[in-house]
Amino acid sequence: MNTALKQEPVFWHDLIQPAYDSSGKPNFLDSTGAVLEGLYTDMPNEVYHALDAHSSTGIKTFAKGRHHYFRQYLSDVCRLRTKQQEYTFDAGTYGHMLVLEPHNFHGNFMRNPTPEDFPDLKLIDTIPQLKEALANRGLAVSGSRAALISRLYNNDPTLPIFEVLREKAICEFLDQRYSNYLRTDVELDEMATFYGIDTGLSRDAKIKSILALSPSQPIWEDLVAKHVIDHIVWDDAFRVEKSTRAHPKADWLLSDGFPELSIIARCPNTGLLLKIRFDWLRKDAIAVDLKTTLSTNPTKFAYQVRDLRYDLQQVFYTYVANLAGVPVEHFAFVATEYKDADNCEVFELAERKVQESKDDLFDYLEEFNEALSTGNWYGHDKSRATWVIDV
């Protein structure tokens, strides 16, 4: 045998490539803009969700009923989230980032200051306090809170007005963030373009233009919304990290691997292009999904698995990974609660349930492909007959 022609075995993690090359060109798209199969790291979340491929979330939605998939993905109906839903969603999102990609969290976000963050100062914060300070200086005490703050600040900028101190802290953070974390010219140009700043300016001029934005401009408010986290959400997210890392098995599972690994592969049975994004994939091919949950009670979490079809997610992820050459066999759910208690537990699905869910998955993929082809998004019964019920 000619040993010169002998090739070294290829391990699955040798197939991983960055989502973008050194020039910023996406490795996951061909010259025509079509999505390419493969394993990709460092793909922005919004880019992954915009890929023209089908995810486990879509299949889980379809499993609830075709009409559910149509409403969520094909209709123009938009239901806005409540503030409580936003807080819950955001705490989970930032908790994930702290556990899985702490390097992308630290330096990019700050906790929104509260009066308790200035314990050594006798703050002027409430409307009665503002009016009292104005009256002591012979100034008018009428108007909105913003007007009171502005009037008092203009009279004496050295006063410990909470909103002024809060704004100063945020401005200092944004100054540091955009001076230290705009690492590439590509990122800086994207930021400048987004905010209508001339990309032809020098690098320093572009940074100064961003930092010079007035707090009265909506553009500044957008920067605050992007980087300043509500103090309750911030504290929740850090407790998620602490509880997760305090669990020995969870801490081991979430080590020696790749965070947020995106995989794209084509289903040979349906021809559908499928995509997955592992929270964490260990180098020994053990997959880990981090769930922030209301309860880590095993019975309650089992109901959550059933209701939210985590079982279908597991077999979908395993299937797509196997198609891409990644030998995933073991899958663990790391569940962390933070709202009413702080705790983390690790769960795995019984083999019987995994096999049942595999059968479900292939049925759903066939039905889903048929629905996409025919455009038939009926409800619970294809014949559209009358249901006879006995209560």
In a domain, 106, yes or no: no
Do residues 132 and 255 both lie within one domain?
Answer: no
Do residues 176 and 196 both lie within one domain?
Answer: yes
Phi-psi region of 153 (alpha: psi -120 to 50; beta: other; left: phi over 0): alpha
Q: Is the pTM of this model over 0.85?
A: no
Q: What is the CATH number of the domain that holds 349?
A: 3.90.320.10
On whether the CB atoms of residues 206 and 199 are closer than 8 A, the answer is yes
Residue where one domain finishes, among candidates 178, 211, 229:
229
Do residues 360 and 244 both lie within one domain?
Answer: yes
The count of domains in the chain is 2
Do residues 172 and 294 both lie within one domain?
Answer: no
In a domain, 102, yes or no: no
Do residues 245 and 367 both lie within one domain?
Answer: yes
Which residue, 327, 236, 235, 344, is CA-closest to 290? 344
In a domain, 27, yes or no: yes
In a domain, 157, yes or no: yes
Do residues 240 and 368 both lie within one domain?
Answer: yes
In a domain, 90, yes or no: no
Task: Say what the pLDDT of residue 2 is.
Answer: 47
Task: Report the relative pairing of strands 331-337 and 343-347 from DSSP bridges.
Answer: antiparallel
Residue where one domain finishes, among candidates 229, 262, 282:
229
Do residues 222 and 243 both lie within one domain?
Answer: no
What values do phi and psi take at 330, rounded to 5?
-105, 140
Do residues 203 and 142 both lie within one domain?
Answer: yes
How many angstroms separate the most distant Cα atoms in the chain? 99
Task: Say what the pLDDT of residue 3 is.
Answer: 46
Specify the 3-state DSSP secondary structure of 75. coil
pLDDT digits (tens, 9 = 90+) for 184-225: 677 677 777 777 788 888 877 777 776 665 554 555 677 788
Do residues 204 and 263 both lie within one domain?
Answer: no
In a domain, 153, yes or no: yes
pLDDT digits (tens, 9 = 90+) for 17-66: 999 999 889 999 999 999 999 999 999 988 999 999 999 999 999 999 99
In a domain, 2, yes or no: no
Tokens at 213, concatenated: 């934005």
Low-confidence ranges of the chain (pLDDT < 50): 1-6, 216
End-to-end CA distance of the chain: 76
Domain around 348: 12-77+235-372
Task: Say what the pLDDT of residue 210 is.
Answer: 67
For the purposes of burial, counting CB atoms within 10 Å of the CB of 211, is it exposed (0-12), middle (13-18) or buried (19 or more)?
middle
Do residues 217 and 264 both lie within one domain?
Answer: no
H or E element, residue 316: helix 310-323
Residue where one domain finishes, among candidates 174, 199, 229:
229
Write 183-192 long-range contacts (CB < 8 A, 24+).
184/24, 186/24
In a domain, 60, yes or no: yes
Tokens at 344, concatenated: 């983390």
Do residues 139 and 198 both lie within one domain?
Answer: yes
Do residues 182 and 254 both lie within one domain?
Answer: no
